[in-house]
Amino acid sequence: MKKISAILCSLILIAFCFVCPVSAATSFVTFAEDFQTLSFEDNTYIACNLSELIYDESEEISKQYVILSDTQKENVKSVSITANADYSILYANIAYRNGSTLNVDFLRNDCYEKLDSIRQNTTHCEIDFSYSGVDVISFTKSSLSGEYTTVTEDELYWCDFYEVTSSCEYEFDLFYGYMLFCDDSYYFVDAETVLQLCDSSWDFYPADYDSLYACKISDEELIEQLDTAMYDSYSSLTITDMLDEATTKKLSNGFLIVAFGILPLAVMIASFIIAMRAKSAYKKLFSAIGITCAAELTVFVILLLILV
Amino acid sequence: MLGKLLKYDLKSMLKYWWITAISSLVLSAAGGASLAYIINSEDYPSALIFPMVLLVFLAFLGMFGFIILSTIFIFTRFYKNFFTDEGYLTFTLPVSRFALLNSKLISSVLVTTLTVFVFFVELIVFIIIPVASTNAWHSALPELSSLLSELNLTVGPYIYVFVVEALIAVLLSNVYSTLLFFFCITFAAMISKKAKVIIAIGIYYLANSITSTFSQLLFSTGLENIADRVMLLSDASAFPVVALIVLGILLFMAIVCLALYALEYWMLDRKLNLN
C-alpha cells in the first residue's frame, strides 16, 4: 500500500512538473490548425514580450512562446512573429520542414487598451542605475511633475540619460520615458514624446536634438534621490571617468600632439644625427627611421592644417 | 645568401607546421559538420549530440592550438638558431647580421601570414557547413552583396585606398609583433643564461601591456576627437582626410617597427655574448 501511494505521489509530482510549464505556456500565442487565426489568452495579460512588442518594432517572439499542436509540430520547422510600425498587426512567418513558407497577418486590436490599463493601475516608477554601481531608485509616478520647459542644445549634448520604467505585476517593465541628468536640473521626457521623435525608445539619443520640450523635475524628494544616485554613481567611477569632457578632450589632444608630433620630431632629429655619425648598416637604418619620421610629420602637419 | 638563409629558415619552421595545418583543417571541417548536425538535431536522433558537441569543442581547440603551435615553431627556430649551441655556428656563417635578422624576420612574417590565412580558411569551413545546411544561406548571399554595393556607393573609389591601407596595417602589425617577440628573446638571452624562455615571456607580457595601455590612451579619446572634427567636413573631403589619418597612423607604426628593428639589430650586433 505504501509503495502504491509512493508511486502515486511521485506520478502526481511528475505530472505537476509537466503540467506547470504547459499551463504557463498556454498563456502565449496559439495558432489554429490552419494558421488562419491566432489567439491570446483573454483573462490575463500576456507575460511574454507584450511591452517589447509595443516598443520594439523588430521584436521577434521566439518559437518557444508559440504554441503549436502536435500535427503542426510535425510539419513546421519554425515560426517567427514581427509587428508593424504601429503594432496593430502581427506578421507570422511559418517555415515548413519541406522548405516552403507561409506568411499570415493578424490584426491585433487589444494591445493599447491592455497597456493603458496597466499604466493607469501602477503608482510607482523606477530608474535602474545598477550598471554604474548604484541600485534601482523608486519613486511615485506623481513626482514626475513640474513645469514644462525647453532643454537647450548644449544641455542635451552633455547630459546623461536613464530610462524610467515601472515594474508591474507581470513579467515586463513598462517604459515611461527618459530622465535627463543635466548640470543642475533633471528633466523628464515622457514615452509619447520619445516615440514621436524616434521609431523605437532604444533609438533616443538627446544629443541628436537641437532642443527638447521636457518636464523640469520640481519634486524635492525625487531631486534628493536623484542627487544621491548621481553622487554614488560618480564615486564608483575611475579617475579618467570623473574628469569632465573638456579636460579629457584637452588631455587627449595634448597626448595626440606629443605622440604624433613631438615624439616623431625628436626621433627624427636623433636619427639623422646618429645616421651622420654612424657607418654602413647603422647609417642606412637610422636614415630610414629619420625619413619615415619626416613623412609622418608631413602628414601630421597637413592634418593639423585641415582639421584645426 | 639571403635566399639560402630564407630557404633553411622556412624549411625548419614548416617542418611540422603543415601537419598541424592539415590536422586543424580536417578538425574544423568535422566540427562544422557536427555543428550542422546539432542545429538540425530535431530531425536526427539525439544520442549522437554529445559526441558532436565534443567534436565542435575539438575543432575550436584544433584551430586555436594551430595558431599557438605555429607561433612556437617560429620562435623556437629564432631562439635555437641564435641563442643555443647552434648560435655559435649561425654567427660564424659568412653572412652579415643584417641578412641573418632579415631572413628570420621575413620567414617569420611569411609563416605567420600563412597561419592566419589557414586559420581564416578553417573558420570559413567551420561556418559554411552549418550555414549551408539551413535556409539562411539563400538570404545571406543577397544581403552580403547588397551590403557591399551599398558600401561601394557610399565610399566610392576610396574603398580601394582603404583596402590597401588595411592590408598594410595588417602587415605592419605582423612585423611589429614578430619584432617584439625577437626583442624579448634577445633581451632575455642578454640578461640571463638559465631561464631565458621564462624571462622572454615575462618581458613580452610587460611590453605588451605597456603598448596596449599606450594605444588605448591614444585611440580611445584621441581618435574620438579627430572623428568629431572629421564629421564637420563635407562628404567629398571626409574620405581623403580619413585616408590621410590612416596613412599617418601607418607611418607611426612603421617608425615603431623600424625602431624595434634597429634595437634588435644593435643587440645582436653589439650586446650578444654567447659564452
Contact residues on chain A for B269, CB-CB shorter than 8 A: 281
Q: Do A303 and B96 touch (CB under 8 A)?
A: no
**B261: which chain A residues are within 8 Å (Cβ-Cβ)?**
285
Tell me how far apart the alpha carbons of residues B173 and A255 are, in angstroms, rounded to a whole number.
Answer: 22
Average pLDDT (A84-102) is 67
What's the whole-number mean pLDDT along residues A28-32? 56
Residue A243 has pLDDT above 80, yes or no: no
Closest residue to A296, CB basis, from B230, B248, B266: B248
Query: In which band, very low, low, confident or very high, does the pLDDT at B136 lie, cut at 50, 70 and 90?
Result: low
Q: B178: buried, middle or exposed (CB in 10 Å: 19+, 13-18, 0-12)?
A: buried
Contact B258 A285 (CB under 8 A): yes
| Angstroms from A289 CA to nearest CA on chain B | 6
Interface of A with B in 270-299 (CB under 8 A): 281-282, 285-286, 288-289, 292-293, 295-296, 299
DSSP states of A41-88 as a string? -SSS--SSSHHHHHH-TT--B-GGGEE--HHHHHHEEEEEEEE-TTSS
Closest by CA position to B126, among listed B190, B32, B35: B32
Cell numbers standing for residue B215: 594605444
**pTM for the full predicted model:** 0.58
Grid cell for residue A205: 539619443
Residue B16 CB: number of other CB atoms within 10 A? Answer: 13
How high does pLDDT run on average in chain A?
Answer: 70
More confident residue, A223 or A14: A223
User: Is the Cβ pair B262, A303 closer than 8 Å?
Assistant: no
Cα angle for residues A247, A206, A146 (degrees, 5° grid): 105
pLDDT in the model for residue A107: 46
Which chain A residues are Cβ-neighbours of B258 within 8 angstroms?
285, 288-289, 292
Q: Identify the sign of the CA torsion B264, B268, B270, B274.
A: positive
**Dihedral sign from CA coordinates of A134, A135, A141, A143:** negative
Q: Is B22 on the interface with A (CB under 8 A)?
A: no
Give the confidence band of A130 by pLDDT, cuts at 50, 70, 90: low
pLDDT at A43 (0 to 100): 33
What's phi and psi for A165, nearest 5 deg?
A: -130, 170
* pLDDT of residue A267 exceeding 80: yes
Q: With a cut of 70, say whether residue A105 has pLDDT above it.
A: no
What span, in angstroms and rounded, lies between the C-alpha atoms of A211 and A187?
A: 12
Q: What is the pLDDT of residue A67?
A: 58
CB B85, CB B50: distance < 8 Å: no
Which residues are bridge partners to A163 per DSSP? A178
> Could you report the per-residue pLDDT of B9-37, keeping only the tens digit for each?
889 888 889 999 999 999 999 998 888 88
Average pLDDT over residues B61-84: 90
- DSSP for A216-283, written as a single string: EE--HHHHHHHHHHHHHHHHTS-HHHHS-HHHHHHHHHHHHHIIIIIHHHHHHHHHHHHHHHS-HHHH
CB B203 within 8 A of CB B187: yes
Which residues in chain A have Cβ-Cβ distances shorter than 8 Å to B247?
299
Q: How many residue pairs bridge chain A and chain B with CB atoms within 8 Å of each other?
A: 77
- A132 or B192, greater pLDDT: B192
Cβ of A296 within 8 Å of Cβ of B255? The answer is yes
Arithmetic mean of pLDDT, A212-223: 88
As a whole number of angstroms, the distance between CA A194 and CA A201 comes to: 6
**Interface touch A285/B252, C-beta < 8 Å:** no
Q: Is the Cβ of B210 closer than 8 Å to some Cβ of chain A? A: no
Which comes out higher in pLDDT, residue B100 or A243? B100
> What is the pLDDT at residue A167?
67
A22 pLDDT exceeds 70? no
For B259, name the nearest residue in chain A, comparing CA atoms only: A289
Residue A154 has pLDDT above 90, yes or no: no
Could A285 and B262 be called an inter-chain contact, meaning their C-beta atoms sit closer than 8 Å?
Answer: yes
Mean pLDDT value of segment B49-53: 81
Q: Check pLDDT > 80 for residue B245.
A: yes
CA angle B85, B89, B90 (to 5 degrees): 100
Q: Is B240 on the interface with A (CB under 8 A)?
A: no
Question: Using a CB-CB distance cutoff of 8 angstroms, which residues of chain B are in contact with residue A289?
Answer: 255, 258-259, 262
Contacts of A292 in chain B (CB under 8 A): 251, 254-255, 258
Judge whether A139 is closer than 8 Å to chain B, CB to CB.
Answer: no
Q: Report the DSSP pairing between strands A124-128 and A136-140.
A: antiparallel
Residue B42 forms contact with A (CB below 8 Å): yes
Question: Residues of A with CB below 8 A from B100's CB?
Answer: none
CA distance B173 to B168: 9
